Structure 1
């Protein structure tokens, strides 16, 4: 198991298969109204079996890599994706679904693990993302992981988005 790691977290690829507990955690993440709100979406309403089938189909796409985020005990924390993947760049998406773990640095560590993997293993030159301007906790976490703000603009539901990126030459795997 040579999965991406940083600090207390491990990124387990969906391609390695998920345990039933990991599937349940993922399902609960997407059903949670508060998590959905921070993700700019609506809470999932579809049944578990349909959700599982949809996720499995999505993770087979060639333009995305999906991971579950595991804590130091190997327990589910959330999900992370590198999507719109090209040989040069990808877009990062992350959800920490265990709200009682918010604000404890797990998201930053998961992003650091993903960036290390993106730059060293995949050979990408840039990873970008969008987040809500009002989500200061997420913005600070992304900055700690190495991202910098590169612009802003209107996002979904009329909210202001902040565009951030990190380039391989600016990333330090040890930081």
Structure 2
């Protein structure tokens, strides 16, 4: 899509992502954060699935890679895309050293702008573990609001963002940046730092 602040780039998946994506699929910590069992898929099985999706992308799915400084650090996938309506997203920062640096927040913010202005969507939603406080703060900083508590493998919080919430904000200062400025103003009296990831 494009380069964002801090050198974060959202781009289409490519064959060179295969090794990273496989490592992240079988990573126990990432599986826990995604509230799914650790994948037992072999590399060969994963490669076949990966290459098929590159050649014939599944309908209603948009798979993107997140790069920083030319390095593939994570993925953002939009699925269940209903034209003109909604989609669900999942985001992962696979490289541990790149987590908690605001990369996911930048990528999600860019995707939301793409969803509103290019895809014509009205609502984007996601689920995250109830006890994953860093992810929850990050999504809230992007303009998501908690909308439900859902039982899956573990308790999850469903978050959603709506196009009209963004359109109510000043277009020159995107929602997350404006919210960050407001939070800094509100927190200055009690010494709390603004939320960053």
- Short-chain TM bin: 0.7 to 0.9
Name which of 68, 71, 81 aligns with 2:77.
81
- What residue in structure 2 maps to residue 7 of structure 1? 5
Greater Rg by CA: 2
Q: Identify the structure with bigger relative contact order (alpha carbons < 8 Å, sequence gap 6+).
A: 1
Distance of 1:163 and 1:79 partners within structure 2 = 19
Distance of 1:134 and 1:7 partners within structure 2 = 28
Gaps of 5+ in 1: none
Count of aligned pairs between the two proteins: 166
- TM-score between the two structures when normalised by the length of structure 2: 0.78
1:128-168 deviations in Å (ceiling 9; x for gaps) = 1111111111100101111111121212x2x2111110001
Distance of 1:78 and 1:62 partners within structure 2 = 22
Distance of 2:10 and 2:72 partners within structure 1 = 10
1:112 aligns with 2:125: no
- Conservation of the 8 A alpha-carbon contact between 1:67 and 1:81: yes
1:52 aligns with 2:47: yes
Gaps of 5+ in 2: 178-197
Distance of 1:6 and 1:118 partners within structure 2 = 16
- TM-score between the two structures when normalised by the length of structure 1: 0.88
- Conservation of the 8 A alpha-carbon contact between 1:4 and 1:114: no
